[in-house]
Structure 1
Amino acid sequence: MRVQAKICGLSTPESVEAALHGGASWLGFVMFPRSPRNVSPDQAAALASAVPAGVGKAAVLVDPDDELVARAIAAGMSLLQLHGHETPDRVAALRQRFSVEIWKAVPVRTRADLAGAAAYRGVADRILYDAKTPDGAALPGGMGLRFDWALLRGHDHPLPWALSGGLDAGSVAEAVSVTGARIVDVSSGVESAPGVKDVDKIAAFLQATARL
């Protein structure tokens, strides 16, 4: 299986086009007002209208209520990517009510943090290992931080998984080599400024991923 890529935090037609042209397998749309990448469900729907069948469309959410989830799904999102403090019970309830694919982010700083993924066995479809942000940070991710990828070497994963945090065109090969990841998720690593996607960086990241 080739390494697949998700480009997250898209907010313009140009960045969506660049991600599609480069062969991204998933596109992510952040619906979280505190994020510089925030888009409304209506804006996400307009951006996603150009996405062909077979390319995943992720609503990136932080402790969403049911109303926001319903609006995201109505906007054409094919999966939920949860980055808040959603408990396994909450994830199970969302999956049951909305019958949608769910990725649950697990923030990692130490090996002990990896154990948190096991609680989502049977309720989430995929775990996204991401770098844990500093205490009190305004955002739960998308800050360009990376954790020690060696923590994942030989780890017994309870679910299918993807890797995020500190990735860019220059580091993705090392990340895949160390962790064995087959799905990589990038946001700030393809930006010229927080929330401003760079189409050349998107192209470079996807080219680097395609070589793996």
Structure 2
Amino acid sequence: MRYKVPMASETVFPPRVKICGLSTEDTLDAALGAGADWIGLVHFPRSPRHVDLARAAALSARARGRAERVVLLVDPDDVLLIRAVEVVDPDLIQLHGRETPERVAAIRTLTGRPVMKAIGVATAADLTPLAAYAAVADRILLDAKAPPGAILPGGNGRRFDWTILAGLDLPRDTMLSGGLDAANVAEALACTGLGAVDVSSGVESEPGVKDPERIAAFVAAARAAR
């Protein structure tokens, strides 16, 4: 399926929202209370948003039935994948490393769970592998490419030039991330025509510390965009 900008006579659904990098019950509850569609749990030790699998499992259980639960992994091996699925029971696995399309397909088969692949974007050339990933992943996340030397593949508070997406025939289940916050999410949605957004650093008071008020403001701004 491919994304198209809806005509005036078509039904337009509110944008869907993912709050990523949650690590406490209070901020998880803030995301759920605001109406987030997905909650993201980061299992990547280098990240300030990292939670171990036991912690992720507790938060996942708290969110079950209230939002889709996403576990974010970076270049995971099969042992970690199987363990994460067993312990966290995610609705979706987010791959945020250098996984090839072949590896994405293998992970989807191994785990039996839907997979979202993040693609780092700085220029239009970075969109070249999009078709290959879209053929094997259930969702695509277009995120700002990490700067040279960065220790994190995402969550760096950077944005890319959204205008490079204009007019492209993007997969319907494409999500936008990178440098989003309550002040610019409406602009991002209008510029790209996408129907889903993912935020992490844009709802934090400092790296890894989510702010309930910023979470609520972001979700409200995204919902009001259409």
Shorter-chain TM-score above 0.5: yes
Q: Report the CA distance between 1:89 and its aligned residue.
A: 0.8
Tell me if structure 1 keeps the 8 A contact 2:134–2:140. Answer: no
Structure 1 vs Structure 2 CA RMSD: 1.1
The correspondence of residues 68-83 of structure 1 with structure 2, limited to 5 A, is 68-74=80-86, 75-83=88-96
The correspondence of residues 38-57 of structure 1 with structure 2, limited to 5 A, is 38-53=50-65, 55-57=67-69
Tell me if structure 1 keeps the 8 A contact 2:176–2:194. Answer: yes
Displaced runs of 4 or more, over 2 A: none
Q: Which residue in the other structure is 2:155 paired with?
A: 142
Tell me if structure 2 keeps the 8 A contact 1:127–1:159. Answer: no
In structure 1, C-alpha distance between the alignment counterparts of 2:139 and 2:152, rounded to whole Å: 21
1:32 has 2:41 as partner: no
Q: Which residue in the other structure is 1:21 paired with?
A: 33
Q: Report the CA distance between 1:54 and its aligned residue.
A: 5.4
Give the count of matched residue pairs. Answer: 212
| Aligned residue identity for 1:93 | A
In structure 1, C-alpha distance between the alignment counterparts of 2:52 and 2:21, rounded to whole Å: 12
1:153 has 2:169 as partner: no
- 1:33-72 deviation line (CA, Å, top 9, x unaligned): 0000000111011112211425111111110111211122
- 1:14-33 deviation line (CA, Å, top 9, x unaligned): 11000000000000000000
Q: Which residue in the other structure is 2:5 paired with?
A: none
| Aligned residue identity for 2:33 | H
| Aligned residue identity for 1:102 | V
1:115 has 2:94 as partner: no
Q: Report the CA distance between 1:120 and its aligned residue.
A: 1.2
- 1:91-117 deviation line (CA, Å, top 9, x unaligned): 111111111110000100001111121
Identity over aligned residues, as a percent? 54
Question: TM-score, normalization: structure 2?
Answer: 0.91
Q: Which residue in the other structure is 1:208 paired with?
A: 221
Question: TM-score, normalization: structure 1?
Answer: 0.97
Q: Report the CA distance between 1:158 and its aligned residue.
A: 4.4
**Selected match of 1:132 from 145, 165, 181:** 145
**Selected match of 2:204 from 179, 183, 191:** 191
Structure 1 gap segments, 5+ residues each: none
Q: Report the CA distance between 1:183 and its aligned residue.
A: 0.4
**Selected match of 2:16 from 1, 4, 18:** 4
**Selected match of 1:58 from 70, 85, 108:** 70
Q: Which residue in the other structure is 1:67 paired with?
A: 79
Tell me if structure 2 keeps the 8 A contact 1:121–1:159. Answer: no
In structure 1, C-alpha distance between the alignment counterparts of 2:194 and 2:120, rounded to whole Å: 16
Q: Which residue in the other structure is 2:100 paired with?
A: 87
